[in-house]
C-alpha cells in the first residue's frame, strides 16, 4: 500500500470562496481510478502540543502501490486540479508512506 498525504495552506484562509473552490478541486481527484481511498478534511478541534493544526485542508490518498501513485502524478485529472487550484494555496506539504 502507498499512502500519499498532502496538507494545504491557503493564501486567504478567511475566504469561504477559496475554501469552497479548493474543496471542489480536491473532490475532482476522486475520478482517478488508481486511487483506492480518498479522504478530504480540515483540521480537527484537538489541541495538544504535538498536533499541527495550522493547515487549511488535508488530502489523503491510498494507492495499491507506488506504480499506481506514479500514474496519478501525471494523470490528466491531477494535472487539471493543480492547474486550476494552485493559485489558492501558499504552501503544500506532502508525506508519502508505504506499508
Which residues on neighbouring strands pair with residue 58, listed in sequence order?
Answer: 7, 41
Residue among 99, 98, 20 at smallest CA distance from 57: 20
Domain containing 75 equals: 24-45+62-99
Confidence of residue 29 (pLDDT cuts 50, 70, 90): very high
pLDDT value of residue 57: 97
CA end-to-end distance (rounded Å), the chain: 5
Does 39 fall in a domain? yes
pTM: 0.94
Does 18 fall in a domain? no
Largest CA distance in the chain: 39
Instruction: Please classify residue 87 by burial: count the beta carbons closer than 10 Å to its beta carbon, then call 0-12 exposed, 13-18 middle and 19+ buried.
Output: exposed
Domain count along the chain: 1
Confidence of residue 27 (pLDDT cuts 50, 70, 90): very high
pLDDT value of residue 59: 98
CATH code: domain of residue 28: 3.30.70.100
Amino acid at each position: 500500500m502507498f499512502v500519499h498525504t498532502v496538507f494545504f495552506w491557503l493564501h486567504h484562509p478567511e475566504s469561504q470562496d477559496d475554501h469552497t473552490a479548493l474543496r471542489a478541486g480536491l473532490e475532482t481527484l476522486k475520478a482517478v481510478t488508481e486511487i483506492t481511498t480518498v479522504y478530504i478534511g480540515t483540521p480537527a478541534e484537538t489541541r495538544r502540543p504535538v498536533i499541527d493544526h495550522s493547515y487549511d485542508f488535508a488530502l489523503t490518498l491510498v494507492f495499491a502501490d507506488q506504480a499506481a501513485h506514479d500514474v496519478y502524478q501525471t494523470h490528466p485529472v491531477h494535472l487539471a486540479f493543480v492547474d486550476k487550484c494552485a493559485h489558492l494555496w501558499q504552501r503544500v506539504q506532502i508525506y508519502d508512506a508505504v506499508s
